[in-house]
Amino acid sequence: MLNVLFLASIVFLPVTVVFFYGYGNQAAVWQVFATTQVVTSATLLLMWVVARVDHLLDSEVPPEYLSYTTARLFVIPIGTLLSIGIAFYNVWVAEGIFLFFYVLGWSLRSLYYRRHRGSGYLEGTTRICSITDNMTAVAITFLIAAITGTLLSNIHQPFATALGAVLGELPVYCFSLLIVGFYWLSHHRIYMVIRRHNMMLIWLNFAFLLCIELQPPFNTLHATYPKSQLTTILYASNQAVTGLMLLVIWLYAARGHRLIDKSIDGSQIISIALRVLLPPMIFILSIAIILFRNDLAIYFWLLVIVLEVIDLVYRRVRRGSHKEVRAEADV
């Protein structure tokens, strides 16, 4: 039940953000936002308390970790409540107090891991992969927004006109869909090798997800203004940054075998890095082409799809040859 309440408060967060866009930095707007944060943080605290009281936590969790976590979860709602009251007098001070207590809460966490180096590494990446899968699915769903908007704007036009407008935007949509799919596939391959995680990996993954979630608006811009050099550069830049974030994740995880198996040798690490680097490099190089011939960029981008298909075919052939070798060995 507490988890449902926590998720409901998280889902409500975009509504409060819209209030900021619509009404600016007013005291009442901040208080609505802060109230949702109180519900979220207080619910999280209650979940933690229930887990401790009912002995639902791992018995091997160090007592000091329990104390630090309790303090951190307690500090954030207290600071948020203070900010609600202070907002009646000065909204800027209220926001500053909110940020101060939020940073204080995270500092307590950092303090624990500084005192217990090595304890920040946790086995498994299931939750990271799960949220990545979900947010990628959301991004793919919203890619269709450009086509939906075009259809709605032409709803009073003859059917042939509306259909022509929709068909005109399909290439950009299909290309973006494939690129997001390829990035998800690369993410999947990387996390098949990564065995552990820490907070830095989580934040890097969130940065990657931010780039993924920016795909729909940049796709809409490019589909709406296909002849604009600026929108094409922005689209290519977003694709490049997305791929580079994936590369950063891999390099961070692989450095010194920080989060990957010791059995992975250097050549495999370099091979994966080069494979991840290829798509963003194509988009970076395409910016030079865009500066001269905007309409040729998409043909250059098709290299990403061609190379990905070649890689998939190569992997399939290699797996087949390995199976044949095993079969012969068994005989």
Cα–Cα dist 126/188, whole Å:
11
pLDDT tens-digit series, residues 53-87: 887 777 767 777 778 788 888 888 888 899 989 98
Domain ranges of the chain: 2-120, 123-330
CA angle 264, 257, 260 (to 5 degrees): 65
CA angle 74, 41, 203 (to 5 degrees): 100
Tally the C-alpha atoms within 13 A of residue 286's C-alpha that lie toward its C-beta.
28
The residue among 116, 252, 272 whose CA lies nearest residue 185 is 272
What is the model's pLDDT at position 331?
Answer: 45
Which pTM was predicted?
0.76
Token digits of residue 251: 């390099």
pLDDT tens-digit series, residues 107-159: 776 676 666 655 556 667 888 888 888 888 888 888 877 777 777 777 777 87
Q: How many CB atoms within 10 Å of residue 245?
A: 23
What is the DSSP annotation of 178-210?
HHHHHHHHHHHHHHHHB-EE-HHHHHHHHHHHH
In percent, how much of the chain has pLDDT > 70? 91
Cα–Cα dist 152/291, whole Å:
33
pLDDT tens-digit series, residues 230-248: 999 999 999 999 999 999 9
Cα–Cα dist 17/32, whole Å:
10
